[in-house]
Structure 1
């Protein structure tokens, strides 16, 4: 019986094997390189396999089935009739699916449908069409949830980039920038911040837009969870252009020019001359006000007058005009000051490759001339990228290196007595800053008398003449920077790939700020030499793999370690009191004071991600990262790794309904959901312990230790330096702030992908904020740094893409990005009513604690960063008066000071109480991009709309 059964099984197996047949083959791209991990299945069955490291496969085809289907991310599916064939060669073609491959955290490329969170990718074409000096500015209006704010219109000015609102109390809410997998420093260091100074560039401006292949905007916590302690602010992933193997030399030359003009000039009154209370008071008096007599009765007398070539101003009230007098015509100082700005961008690139090596060499020059005289910014880039393969494409080696030289001459900004705008806007209509001269910025007589004293509307006092500013208070900077990486990877099988990435970013930033004798900020003159030396090293060591467990289930993983170190050294020397005019150098100053500071930090992280896929329509991704930071180490206690260890998890899910349920009228319909926890950045170096510092400087000459009763002791004393405890107490229990976020979304496309709608909703909380609070002086300190306070953000995004017209020769594409969010202050530390962020000490930008009733219940919450200060008094009583103890009435009539003996006579009176006076946050953001193409001709334009947001006016009129 056993023999008969065995014979039966043998015959059945033989019959089954004879019914099958084996097909082998190779899958490559169009260049002949093997594609590893391509999915190969028999049509209509669950029989399948994946290609190996050489792109080879073997599949046992069921009886009667001769059709093979091959799929690979970024390529069009290929269907092959294998009738009568035992070996096939399949070349995969890049197609429309290539646009659906998205670069995600740590440079991992994934199919768009497998991602369970919002990612928006900006192409190199969009960046090029934006034609901006800074690659960061190219994102304005181009992606939902992205707020790009330029500090001012000066050439080389900084730009801030915020993704989905704020997550931190400390004001550093800008997105992390990553280039080819390596973090890029985007700091904006300030020189002479106390007086406003200039708008320094943040270092993102050093990136050459012409070298960018794509930018991925990672907005949510799930998208950035693999960056752990640095993930809360969002991430901008930049992938640069590379060469391709087996390609002939290709030379690209691009040139562009941009023009900028002032379109909206601040409206100023043109009815009253310099003076006060209707009385004329000219430059000789030093009067600052512009409430003198009316222009209707004003004349020039034609006399010789050093402040005006037309003579002195006289007021004719009896109608009898003196002989030789001419009618006064108001000067338009603002319109005459600004000029047309120009930006010239040129780039030359060489791209190509041999059998085992691809290369790209890029040379760029950007020369920018601002809308104010003598303002310029230049940037010169050189970049080299190499990538080679070996051992049958199992080994890949690559390197990218970039050198940048940038800098120029900058102009003193607004809130600054030596600033351009303060003097420009406050100059009355009766004074000509240009002194009647053409090209006034190039003619010293417009702003300076022969004795080298300043010519301005207040007789040399008050605020600087704008033409004096652009010539006698120059700020020059010069940055030399080198950043790049070296990478290596080896693929053993599709399931095992090891890789290493080593990157660095090194630069020096040398600055010189000069204030000539007679400048209002420093009448005796001042020179500041400020030098920054920055360096960081970023290292990744990883193992990864992916493939199909069977024809239904796919699996991918990536795990590794990240080591990061950073150092910053700042050395500055300030010289006060120039010995003589015309030589603003450190060697020409009477007193010098120097300061050197050093800061270092290190972080280490381990991370991992696992991606599960089911039938190419359902995906689950789990990630985790644990970080350790050196800035959290308590130097006064035994080292405890657990005390500086923080874990950040995420989970995301995506479902393609159109694929799952075969919905014919939908091209694509993905639902997504995610939850993640990320860090807001470790505290700054040396925050966990109380530092020793130099005693407070006294007039910039000696360091004093004062007991409050005597004159104290000046250091150095007998050649010995002295140090004191900082007034800010260190906190050994500090930890990073944490952001928790839930995100839901949908991505729908139909009508052959001519209509697309991407929706996102997110809700997050940022807790354990790092904030400095006042503490009792009895502790021996004035302030302490603590973890306390919470922010909450709720927001949504709508991305609409349309192709209204598409013919053989003409196509019109439209993309609209709508964003709206609200970040509220949920709590501040106990006893803290407001937190100063920026601005003036009296009126500025503050975080305001929620308003509570007597029982401690919250009545009202306020958005992040309110304008807070002393508003004008307005009628808020039935008697037509103002009562500071009554609720403020923003619509009430202004209360005018009617006391003729008061310094503010005739002006609105200030409320003695500080209040919220405005909200600078926009109501929503909207970017609309239109692109028209006709054969080889392309036209595109972008409309960037920011609705709402208050602006504070610092003047009284």
Structure 2
């Protein structure tokens, strides 16, 4: 028995010594072709998770099993691989410059591709993978934080999310600091960025310097955002994607919950100020006694009801795309339900891109149609109401929230049509409105349609000369209805300041159509071993037709019958429009 145990221990020691002998420590120094040490070079054991990096002097040390391959890798240098053999423990490695590091291609003005090292200005490119990393609903938000110097600011968190893009700083006192949008070589206003499906984008190039945008004229004085959409691939594929996002109020002002409604330290049942006595948990009257003798009461204590007014916003975005050789088709549906109750927006879009080459000729067509249908709280309607009351300072919806005392259980007043204490004329205070009444009484319904299309024709006249002709149409139509249900309060309610709100309707229509064409030659010829000539020469022509019309009926005869003929008095409205033409030489 002792002999067997001794044999077992001896065998274990031999196996252990062999295992330790198989893994050895390898060290050395990594330098460039110029002999200078390279810091931050990654040294990894192929087929494992073992890795290290060189220090500031190019030195490294790593444990490697014999017979394994180690890889030396660094940005801008060609990879180097070595096999660790028995008896070797030191490797001094020289990394050569990588030619590929100089071949980064950027889409520049007019869609011409240039190597980044050739550019004399700042240009950055964002890939589709980076753009859609967080499943952005619009491209502007997808670019946020991706490009140095590009500031994307959200100015409205509604379902029609508005953003402001600033690329080259504040250059105009009038506030017009938006960069120019160039979609597949076609110039257009940056507002069309919201019509595009981020999943359709191949890449986005951001041209920052004045020299980079000079070819586009004064429209590009604030920089250029160039969007290139997908065109197709040699390998057919079908892609289905879906994302769901939730949105909450990130910050709510800290509101006091120590004192309740009233003034000068006294409780006032119809007051919306919170200058009453400290909360004590007693039962108090709120609002006036109604004509039927009923009186509303509440517990006199602070609550968080005002913070509960806003909903959790939900965005469901679904996309389907088909990619084939010289062909790309996609459809998208994005349904956005906002944080303001009952606000929603649905964006549906379809894109078709196709291209074909016929020897020295090539042709391509890109089309994008987008439709948004939205239903929103119309804050302007409420602002007009308070302006008529000479209390414009209470115009905003948020103002109605923070002017509601902490002892009012706000969320129990949602049913403003059937609950008698929630109605317009019976609302507890003489000075404000039930916010649930506001979002139901003033509504904006609309449809926005964008159609973007362009035709590209190309001719390769010689190895050094290409001709391109591009024609495009950019069209936007907006049709909106601003509706006010209206209320005709009783004489009792009017005596406490609840004036008549007449039912009304305003119809708004916006149309813009831009036709453009550009023709240019792209020259790229090598003069000798040291000099290369590259240049662009061409023309650009544009016609812009714009019209805005609104007409309204401010006093409807039959409530909630939204027809312009259902009115008392004359119609209100206006109509403005213009046509402009532009021609300049590209060079």
TM range (shorter): 0.7 to 0.9
In structure 1, C-alpha distance between the alignment counterparts of 2:530 and 2:103, rounded to whole Å: 24
Aligned to 1:571: 549
Aligned to 2:324: 352
Structure 1 residue 303 displacement after superposition: 11
Aligned to 1:423: 400
The partner residue of 1:292 within 259, 276, 280 is 276
- Whether the aligned pair in 1 keeps the contact of 2:373 and 2:447 (CA below 8 Å) is yes
Aligned to 1:605: 584
Could you say if the C-alpha distance between residues 302 and 379 of structure 1 is closer, same or farther in structure 2, counting changes exceeding 3 Å? Answer: closer
Aligned to 2:40: none
In structure 2, C-alpha distance between the alignment counterparts of 1:588 and 1:208, rounded to whole Å: 41
Aligned to 2:154: 150
Deviation per residue, 1:278-300 (Å, 9 max, x gap): 222223xxx44221222237423
Structure 1 residue 579 displacement after superposition: 2.5
Aligned to 1:507: 476
Aligned to 1:250: 237
Aligned to 1:209: 198
Could you say if the C-alpha distance between residues 276 and 215 of structure 1 is closer, same or farther in structure 2, counting changes exceeding 3 Å? Answer: same
> Are 1:384 and 2:352 an aligned pair?
yes
Deviation per residue, 1:838-864 (Å, 9 max, x gap): xxxxxxxxxxxxxxxxxxxxxxxxxxx
Specify the SS of the correspondent of 2:280. helix
In structure 2, C-alpha distance between the alignment counterparts of 1:570 and 1:431, rounded to whole Å: 44
Structure 1 residue 96 displacement after superposition: 5.4
1:182-193 alignment to 2 at 5 Å?
182-186=186-190
- Whether the aligned pair in 1 keeps the contact of 2:206 and 2:224 (CA below 8 Å) is yes
- Whether the aligned pair in 1 keeps the contact of 2:379 and 2:442 (CA below 8 Å) is no
Could you say if the C-alpha distance between residues 260 and 522 of structure 1 is closer, same or farther in structure 2, counting changes exceeding 3 Å? Answer: farther
Q: Which has the higher contact order (CA 8 A, sep 6+)?
A: 1
- Whether the aligned pair in 2 keeps the contact of 1:134 and 1:205 (CA below 8 Å) is yes
Name the Cα RMSD after superposition.
3.0
Aligned to 2:221: 232
In structure 2, C-alpha distance between the alignment counterparts of 1:242 and 1:95, rounded to whole Å: 28
Could you say if the C-alpha distance between residues 584 and 456 of structure 1 is closer, same or farther in structure 2, counting changes exceeding 3 Å? Answer: farther
> Are 1:495 and 2:464 an aligned pair?
yes
In structure 1, C-alpha distance between the alignment counterparts of 2:483 and 2:102, rounded to whole Å: 53
> Are 1:594 and 2:567 an aligned pair?
no
The partner residue of 2:363 within 386, 397, 403 is 397
> Are 1:111 and 2:111 an aligned pair?
no
Deviation per residue, 1:151-194 (Å, 9 max, x gap): 222112211111132111211211111100112334xxxxxxxx
Could you say if the C-alpha distance between residues 420 and 293 of structure 1 is closer, same or farther in structure 2, counting changes exceeding 3 Å? Answer: same
Aligned to 2:269: 282
- Whether the aligned pair in 2 keeps the contact of 1:419 and 1:464 (CA below 8 Å) is no
The partner residue of 1:128 within 124, 132, 144 is 132
In structure 1, C-alpha distance between the alignment counterparts of 2:260 and 2:301, rounded to whole Å: 11
Aligned to 1:798: none
Aligned to 2:493: none
Could you say if the C-alpha distance between residues 335 and 302 of structure 1 is closer, same or farther in structure 2, counting changes exceeding 3 Å? Answer: closer
TM-score with structure 1 setting the length? 0.46
The partner residue of 2:308 within 323, 336, 350 is 336
Specify the SS of the correspondent of 1:477. strand
Aligned to 2:64: none
In structure 2, C-alpha distance between the alignment counterparts of 1:521 and 1:135, rounded to whole Å: 45
Specify the SS of the correspondent of 1:501. strand
Specify the SS of the correspondent of 2:400. helix
Aligned to 1:477: 446
Q: Which moved more, 1:259-268 or 1:527-536?
A: 259-268
Specify the SS of the correspondent of 1:588. coil
Aligned to 1:834: none
Deviation per residue, 1:485-533 (Å, 9 max, x gap): 0010101112221110011111210001112214999822332110001
Could you say if the C-alpha distance between residues 205 and 303 of structure 1 is closer, same or farther in structure 2, counting changes exceeding 3 Å? Answer: closer
Could you say if the C-alpha distance between residues 467 and 312 of structure 1 is closer, same or farther in structure 2, counting changes exceeding 3 Å? Answer: closer
Specify the SS of the correspondent of 1:229. helix
Aligned to 2:70: none
Could you say if the C-alpha distance between residues 458 and 220 of structure 1 is closer, same or farther in structure 2, counting changes exceeding 3 Å? Answer: farther
Could you say if the C-alpha distance between residues 371 and 327 of structure 1 is closer, same or farther in structure 2, counting changes exceeding 3 Å? Answer: closer
> Are 1:543 and 2:545 an aligned pair?
no
The partner residue of 2:170 within 154, 166, 172 is 166
Structure 1 residue 128 displacement after superposition: 1.1
- Whether the aligned pair in 2 keeps the contact of 1:419 and 1:466 (CA below 8 Å) is no
Aligned to 2:429: 458
- Whether the aligned pair in 1 keeps the contact of 2:524 and 2:534 (CA below 8 Å) is yes
The partner residue of 2:180 within 164, 176, 183 is 176
In structure 1, C-alpha distance between the alignment counterparts of 2:299 and 2:250, rounded to whole Å: 30
- Whether the aligned pair in 2 keeps the contact of 1:261 and 1:339 (CA below 8 Å) is yes
Structure 1 residue 448 displacement after superposition: 7.4
In structure 2, C-alpha distance between the alignment counterparts of 1:181 and 1:327, rounded to whole Å: 65
The partner residue of 2:376 within 398, 410, 415 is 410
- Whether the aligned pair in 2 keeps the contact of 1:447 and 1:467 (CA below 8 Å) is no
Deviation per residue, 1:451-503 (Å, 9 max, x gap): x64554424xx443221122221111101221110010101112221110011
Specify the SS of the correspondent of 2:308. helix
- Whether the aligned pair in 2 keeps the contact of 1:446 and 1:467 (CA below 8 Å) is no
In structure 2, C-alpha distance between the alignment counterparts of 1:348 and 1:571, rounded to whole Å: 36
Could you say if the C-alpha distance between residues 162 and 301 of structure 1 is closer, same or farther in structure 2, counting changes exceeding 3 Å? Answer: closer
In structure 2, C-alpha distance between the alignment counterparts of 1:429 and 1:528, rounded to whole Å: 36
In structure 2, C-alpha distance between the alignment counterparts of 1:145 and 1:302, rounded to whole Å: 54
In structure 1, C-alpha distance between the alignment counterparts of 2:533 and 2:161, rounded to whole Å: 46
Aligned to 2:45: none
The partner residue of 1:557 within 535, 542, 549 is 535
Structure 1 residue 389 displacement after superposition: 0.8
- Whether the aligned pair in 1 keeps the contact of 2:268 and 2:276 (CA below 8 Å) is yes
Could you say if the C-alpha distance between residues 578 and 491 of structure 1 is closer, same or farther in structure 2, counting changes exceeding 3 Å? Answer: same
Specify the SS of the correspondent of 1:228. helix
In structure 1, C-alpha distance between the alignment counterparts of 2:100 and 2:452, rounded to whole Å: 33
1:77-88 alignment to 2 at 5 Å?
none
Specify the SS of the correspondent of 1:578. coil
- Whether the aligned pair in 2 keeps the contact of 1:528 and 1:573 (CA below 8 Å) is yes
Aligned to 2:501: 523
In structure 1, C-alpha distance between the alignment counterparts of 2:253 and 2:471, rounded to whole Å: 50
In structure 1, C-alpha distance between the alignment counterparts of 2:100 and 2:284, rounded to whole Å: 73
TM-score with structure 2 setting the length? 0.74
In terms of fraction of residues, the more helix-rich structure is 2
Specify the SS of the correspondent of 1:155. coil
- Provide structure 2 residue ranges, at least 5 long, that are not aligned to the other structure: 1-76, 79-97, 387-394, 489-497
In structure 2, C-alpha distance between the alignment counterparts of 1:158 and 1:469, rounded to whole Å: 22
Could you say if the C-alpha distance between residues 517 and 304 of structure 1 is closer, same or farther in structure 2, counting changes exceeding 3 Å? Answer: closer
In structure 2, C-alpha distance between the alignment counterparts of 1:522 and 1:235, rounded to whole Å: 51
